[in-house]
Structure 1
Amino acid sequence: MYAPQEDTELLAAALADEPLAPGAAVLDVGTGSGALALTAARRGARVTAVDVSRRAVYAARLNALRAGLPLEVVRGNLFEPVRGRSFDLVLANPPYVPAPGAHRPPRGAARAWDAGGDGRLVLDRICHEAPGLLRPGGVLLLVQSALSDPGLTVDCLRSAGLKSAVTQRQRIAFGPVLRTRVEWLRERGLLSPDENDEELVVVRAEQPV
């Protein structure tokens, strides 16, 4: 688990633009410290937060207690703890950083950012599984890096029958992880020679009514 970063802030801005009825069912996967889940809870939503990290689950529960907000926090791998349930809004800030040594699953803290050689290890699962959790008119808000092919995310969600588009963009300086991978990313063709920062995007996908 790590403290909220620019990707959380960008997803929070997209959440602020989203209408959210009182009592709406919200799912926050990869909740981390619970920042986004608590933002939705403050707006009167019924929020379930999921994370695979025990430390993250503990932190989210503690932050909810401190805030005096009702929050269901469960430990599990992505959507496994909420099978059979449906939601009005799904928030996702998954691992999306392309990583060398993709044949090895990420371990420890790296599970929060490393996502295979193309950065899509978790993104592809979300694209395939999230549509089945959305109620009619339900929305998925997902943040990722431009390095992990947002166009493929949009196309995959459209193929599942959702209306999908990139709705937010922000360029940020390379963080400590990407700074160690610049040359590798350029060798892979994921980063051009003149790129010295990273673009984050939010993909919004809506289930037709």
Structure 2
Amino acid sequence: MPSLLDTGLAGGVLRLAPGVYAPQSDTFLLRDAIEREGLPPGAEVLDVGTGSGALALAAARRGARVTAIDRSRRAVLTARLHAALAGQRVRVLRGDLLEPAAGRRYDLIVCNPPYVPSPRKRPPRRGAAVAWDAGPDGRAVIDRICDGAPALLRPSGVLLLVQSALSGVTPTIERLERAGLKAAVVRRSVVPFGPVLRERSDWLERRGLIEPGQEKEELVIIRAHRP
């Protein structure tokens, strides 16, 4: 189990309720992108699908006013606990993706959505797999973020999103640009398959999403800004 120091939260040990997504390679990649992003004083930041709260706290440590959202009651409680332990003020709301943020505007939106292609036709509504399964093409949640996030950005506001190349990078960029944003990949990282991808590698190969014997995936950070 990673420590809070490893995730950038604070000293100590992660307090994760069962089913709450533990920070991993995609979390750390997006955290680094947040730390490199220029933020105006008192920036308003939205963390969608906060899980443990690691990304919300990365923004809060930079002086931002942070709102974090998760549909899981356990994740909301976990993120609130980690904010208290870190001595940071983070507003954590329970709700479905962007709905609790309707009518607000933000300087930065960050999102580590479920993006793993799954044999299931629809994403699960409960259980640990909610944090990663995203339909047969892995885009069930990504597309909703691409469609909804632009309306929540202030002029010059930025969306930072992490996803696997297995779920289609070009479709994400094109969808964001159709919504009026300028989007590009700003970071790439190749990581070994985790347990979920190893378990469904035969299915992914049959779908043509991976090469025979492939054991690694590419993670990308997509940065989209409102001109």
TM-score of Structure 1 vs Structure 2, range by shorter chain: over 0.9
2:19 is aligned with 1:5: no
Offset of 1:196 from its aligned partner? Answer: 1.8
Do the aligned partners of residues 2 and 191 (structure 1) sit closer, same or farther apart at CA in structure 2, a change above 3 Å counting?
same
Offset of 1:195 from its aligned partner? Answer: 2.4
- Show the 5 A alignment for 1:49-68: 49-68=68-87
- The worse-fitting range, judged by mean Cα deviation, of 96-105 and 138-147 is 96-105
Equivalent position amino acid for 1:125 in 2: R
Equivalent position amino acid for 1:203 in 2: I
2:138 is aligned with 1:119: yes
CA distance in 2, matches of 1:98, 1:121: 9
Q: Residue 200 of structure 1: SS of its match in structure 2? A: strand
> Which residue of structure 2 aligns with residue 101 of structure 1?
120
How many residue pairs get aligned? The number is: 208
Which consecutive residues of structure 2, in runs of 5 or more, have no partner in the other structure? 1-19
> Which residue of structure 2 aligns with residue 135 of structure 1?
154
Out of 38, 42, 55, the position equivalent to 2:61 is 42
Equivalent position amino acid for 2:178 in 1: S
Whether the 8 Å CA contact 1:106–1:115 is kept in 2: the answer is no
- The worse-fitting range, judged by mean Cα deviation, of 105-114 and 181-190 is 105-114
> Which residue of structure 2 aligns with residue 75 of structure 1?
94
2:45 is aligned with 1:30: no
Query: What TM-score do the two structures reach when normalised by structure 2?
Result: 0.90
Offset of 1:150 from its aligned partner? Answer: 1.0
- Show the 5 A alignment for 1:59-208: 59-103=78-122, 105-208=124-227
Point out 4+ residue stretches in structure 1 off by more than 4 angstroms. none
Query: What TM-score do the two structures reach when normalised by structure 1?
Result: 0.97
Q: Residue 38 of structure 1: SS of its match in structure 2? A: helix
Offset of 1:194 from its aligned partner? Answer: 4.7
Structure 1 vs Structure 2 CA RMSD:
1.0
Which consecutive residues of structure 1, in runs of 5 or more, have no partner in the other structure? none
